[in-house]
Structure 1
Amino acid sequence: MENGNGASPCCNGNGNGAAAAAAPPHVAMLVTPGMGHLIPLAELAKRLARRHGAAATLLTFASAASATQRAFLASLPPAVTSLALPPVDLSDLPRGAAIETLMSEECARSVPALTDILRDLRRRTRLVAFVADLFGADSFDAARAAGVARLYLFFPSNLHALTLFLHLPELDAAVPGEFRDLAEPLRLPGCVPIPGPDVLMPLQDKSNPCYRWMVHHGAKYREADAILVNSFDAAEPGPAKILRQPAPGRPAVFPVGPLIQADRGGSDGPCPCLEWLDRQPARSVIFVSFGSGGALPAEQMRELALGLELSGQRFLWVVRSPSDEGAVNDNYYDAESKKDPFAYLPEGFVDRTRDVGLVVPSWAPQIKVLAHGATGGFLTHCGWNSVLESLVYGVPMVAWPLYAEQRQNAVMLSEGVGAAIRVPESKGREKIAAAVREVMEGEGRGATVRAKVAELQKAAAEGLQEGGAAAAALAEVVEKWTCEEN
């Protein structure tokens, strides 16, 4: 329950005297690398400040100190500050180590420095809780060593992915071969069945060190007092129902989403792609973007271009140079295109589609594009932030997953809740064109998808309102933080 200034009325302080009791509750949040981790955690911090009078410190890793991240952190309100952890040496890791391995190792090796920072925060603030994100569970060791009373996990993805993580230790023992070779889809409590090849990408090769890290994290999650998840019940009714029920040895789960960038991002100056959208009919444009970290192989990039042309639909495409020399997550730490992406488009494509399409390199203000009245569809990699943004603004999706948990998300969206149509695995231009037309023109399943997305948009908005499910879940968490201080 909140009083007039957003603070809980039942706090008795943390044993550090009246001055400490009068100080705002403070939360330390560890952000593992990637804007997809930083943005929702920052939005959680902003919501805590705005609705509950709390302050937060975002703790970031040296490897993520990009210009984009620095600008984002500088834009946060005064109640949300940031501190960068000192660099750690990862030079002993093999070249080509998985991103998940890099993030996990960086966290584990940062525990001593993090312990010192948390001790200092305890001295200077009324530190009521520590929150780690999904690859940062080893930081619980630092929080315990620093004497932080409450340890929470923030899971920026969805309830399906969390369910998989929580079951990983037992699945590791029960599945002798590779997940991709499973004869039957993986069935987890309340979840849409996930075909083996669509299971979380870091689990697809058990000989890779990142597989063992994922199993380790799944076990470590159970040390949390509770888990906050960036999702909402209507998007995942099955696992939401299961995870709401108490279970021995499993932390309580609180869906507090959707947490998306509330200010719509981008600069205040003129933006050519938004000016172009202003000239298009309502709901007529499909927005094509693979997130801040995704890139396509050259052949798929060509087929996508020709599929968009063949569809006859208006399109706005954020294009990057292809991933053939690396991986589909080549841009994870740096969203800029590595080479001129236009050189990889089919000859004459830009000229032939000039009247109906706009191709922009590297970046577009995604929130503003999705919120624009001319946008009627979103061809997306199914990164969870992008999915939530699409649902908040009521934009039906064409699913084209690339890495991480995106293939799982595509299954859940297309076969489960029905908010997307998935591009077939072959990625041929005719099938791409058909999927785009189906969503944009309401053909076949397209009409059902559009109706479902409108329903989810309404549910998401209602959940965030005062008394809504997400708002109530976060209020319950804050009450635990502030009313159980020693």
Structure 2
Amino acid sequence: MEGTQQPPHIVILPSPGMGHLIPLAELAKRLVLHHNFAVTLAVPTDGSPSKTQKAFVEALPTTINSMFLPPVNFDDLSEDVMVETRICLTMTRSLPSLRETFELFTATTHLVALVVDLFGTVAFDVAREFNVLPYILFPSTSMILSFLLFLPKLDETCSCEYRDMPEPVQLPGCVPLHGIDFLDPVQDRKNEAYSWILYQSKRYHLAEGILLNSFMDLEPGAIKALNEEADLSKLPPVYTVGPLVQNHSKDDDIVDGPECLRWLDDQPPDSVIFISFGSAGVLSLEQMTELAMGLELSEQRFLWVARTPTQKAANAAFFSSLSSEDPLAFLPDGFLERTKERGLVVNSWAPQMQVLRHGSTGEQKMNAVMLVDDIKIALRPKVDQENGLIFRDEIAAVLKSLMEGEEGKKVRNKMKELKDAAANALSKDGSSTQSLSEVALKWKTHAVA
């Protein structure tokens, strides 16, 4: 009967980790609200979902269907396996469950597209099997997308470890990139994590399109170069649809949210440094101590989302829930008391509205190059080459320069410009809004084909 036809159905498959779940969930909201799609968020797991994941999924609008796929088994993996390997194996071992889900959906709904993130290309085969269009939502920067698209060629032509390359790599539209600043999981080419990253990058061309969580004014050179490659049919079309960031209402249940917001309301405008390393970023005890002392020495206002320090890898918390140990107990003696008039430390998630942020822990060196050398919206502290630490004096100096110096003033002014540009991109007639509308039209056309 006319008017009762089912809306086209999109399945969104995030990789494990809140940093992957959030932008894909934000995409789901836009597809439902602005384009009248039915959307299912299917979340792979390697065990019981964390409290944070459950709370996040339960807080999604009721118009978005969500489900946790059955957990996969990792009894055969060693504890020291890199997080990228665990992510890719989670996706691979979830394929039987995904196939069963597709069988159900194709029989009961009008399933037209699958959207995965950068680690989900293994699911493309299932999508093609059911005549469903596969797309990638790339949650990071165009520079990192360009690097991954270039990686198969680099793998063939370079015989040494990338950190030992004598010359930087010149990606189209990007600033030169030295091997030492490449992604963490490609720094050891003998590690299984490298093989997985290479495997994923070789499959990007199988996508019908790549949705980039960025906007035109952020990286115009790199985005233009990607579009030119797409025009030459060397790449799937790239659509800038970002920034896809989580916006909270007053009624949202955010851990420590009310305290953070009340404290921020009492501070002068543009006076607070926000310190957060995301859902996966965990500092060593030594680096946590240096950061605390650097904040104290800088005499700047700060809001710090602290995590319990670890002696493991920097992304050791990626698959785990929040530690039961209080991270505040690991701060230097007297730090909280000495900084209580100008700093706030919280030990969990905080509202991150209006924050321009990209990527995960393993990408931050590349992001630093982009933000400092290309976009010029950040300052980069010097790392001690002997032990890999950034010492307190260096932290204090960079923070003072950012908040009080002329160089920092330029950075803050550029940030304000980009904040306005991001808002424009997401406006009714903005570039990101139009790009997503273009993709939505392709999906609806496929639905009636």
TM-score, structure 2 normalization: 0.92
Q: Distance in 2 between matches of 1:416 and 1:212?
A: 29
Q: Is residue 139–residue 358 contact of structure 2 (8 Å, CA) maintained in 1?
A: no
Runs in 1 of length 4+ with deviation above 3 angstroms? 18-21, 264-270
The 5-angstrom pairing of residues 75-474 of structure 1 reads 75-145=59-129, 147-245=130-228, 246-263=231-248, 266-267=253-254, 271-324=258-311, 326-367=312-353, 383-384=358-359, 403-426=361-384, 427-441=390-404, 443-474=405-436
Q: Distance in 2 between matches of 1:28 and 1:184?
A: 42
Pair 1:62 & 2:45 matched: yes
Give the C-alpha shift of residue 125 in structure 1: 1.2
Cα deviation, 1:310-367, whole Å, max 9, x if unaligned, reads 111112222222122x111122123524533233222222222222222222332233
- Name the amino acid aligned to 2:345: V
- Name the amino acid aligned to 2:420: K
Q: Is residue 274–residue 302 contact of structure 2 (8 Å, CA) maintained in 1?
A: yes
Give the C-alpha shift of residue 270 in structure 1: 7.2
Q: Is residue 305–residue 345 contact of structure 2 (8 Å, CA) maintained in 1?
A: yes
Q: Distance in 2 between matches of 1:484 and 1:276?
A: 50
* Residue aligned with 2:361, SS: coil
- Name the amino acid aligned to 1:479: L
Q: Distance in 2 between matches of 1:268 and 1:37?
A: 19
Give the C-alpha shift of residue 421 in structure 1: 0.9
Q: Is residue 111–residue 141 contact of structure 1 (8 Å, CA) maintained in 2?
A: no
* Residue aligned with 2:379, SS: strand
Give the C-alpha shift of residue 294 in structure 1: 1.2
Q: 1:235 to 1:266 in 2, by over 3 A?
A: farther
Q: Is residue 273–residue 302 contact of structure 2 (8 Å, CA) maintained in 1?
A: yes
Q: 1:61 to 1:484 in 2, by over 3 A?
A: closer
* Residue aligned with 1:22, SS: coil
- Name the amino acid aligned to 1:279: D
Q: Distance in 2 between matches of 1:201 and 1:21?
A: 50
Q: Distance in 2 between matches of 1:250 and 1:286?
A: 39
Cα deviation, 1:222-267, whole Å, max 9, x if unaligned, reads 1111111111111111110011121334111111000001225544
Q: 1:57 to 1:419 in 2, by over 3 A?
A: same
Give the C-alpha shift of residue 68 in structure 1: 1.1
Q: 1:87 to 1:270 in 2, by over 3 A?
A: closer
> What is the aligned partner in structure 2 of residue 374 from structure 1?
none
Q: 1:197 to 1:338 in 2, by over 3 A?
A: farther
Q: Is residue 293–residue 335 contact of structure 1 (8 Å, CA) maintained in 2?
A: no
- Name the amino acid aligned to 1:238: G
Q: Distance in 2 between matches of 1:315 and 1:208?
A: 38
- Name the amino acid aligned to 1:432: I
Pair 1:480 & 2:442 matched: yes
Q: Distance in 2 between matches of 1:155 and 1:215?
A: 16
Gaps of at least 5 residues in structure 1 are 1-17, 372-377, 385-401
* Residue aligned with 1:445, SS: helix
Q: 1:340 to 1:263 in 2, by over 3 A?
A: closer
Cα deviation, 1:169-196, whole Å, max 9, x if unaligned, reads 1111112111111222221111222221
Q: Distance in 2 between matches of 1:113 and 1:269?
A: 36
Q: Distance in 2 between matches of 1:19 and 1:178?
A: 62
Q: Distance in 2 between matches of 1:22 and 1:333?
A: 40
Q: Distance in 2 between matches of 1:149 and 1:444?
A: 53
- Name the amino acid aligned to 2:346: V
- Name the amino acid aligned to 1:482: K
> What is the aligned partner in structure 1 of residue 387 from structure 2?
none
* Residue aligned with 1:192, SS: coil
Q: 1:352 to 1:273 in 2, by over 3 A?
A: same
Pair 1:51 & 2:29 matched: no
Q: 1:107 to 1:270 in 2, by over 3 A?
A: closer
Cα deviation, 1:109-153, whole Å, max 9, x if unaligned, reads 2222211211211111111211111111000111122x1331111
Give the C-alpha shift of residue 425 in structure 1: 1.3
Q: 1:363 to 1:471 in 2, by over 3 A?
A: closer
Q: Distance in 1 between matches of 2:34 and 2:428?
A: 10
What is the alpha-carbon root mean square deviation over aligned residues?
2.0
* Residue aligned with 1:62, SS: coil
Q: Is residue 291–residue 383 contact of structure 1 (8 Å, CA) maintained in 2?
A: no
Gaps of at least 5 residues in structure 2 are 385-389
Q: Is residue 277–residue 361 contact of structure 2 (8 Å, CA) maintained in 1?
A: no
Q: 1:254 to 1:66 in 2, by over 3 A?
A: same
Q: Is residue 320–residue 338 contact of structure 1 (8 Å, CA) maintained in 2?
A: no
Q: Distance in 2 between matches of 1:248 and 1:338?
A: 51
Alignment coverage as a number of residue pairs: 438
Q: Is residue 91–residue 120 contact of structure 2 (8 Å, CA) maintained in 1?
A: yes
Cα deviation, 1:374-407, whole Å, max 9, x if unaligned, reads xxxx9xxx643xxxxxxxxxxxxxxxxx832111
TM-score, structure 1 normalization: 0.86
Give the C-alpha shift of residue 203 in structure 1: 0.3
Q: Distance in 2 between matches of 1:141 and 1:438?
A: 50
Cα deviation, 1:17-55, whole Å, max 9, x if unaligned, reads x77982111101111101111111111011011111111
Cα deviation, 1:388-438, whole Å, max 9, x if unaligned, reads xxxxxxxxxxxxxx8321111111011110111112213121211111112
Q: 1:243 to 1:269 in 2, by over 3 A?
A: closer
- Name the amino acid aligned to 2:440: V
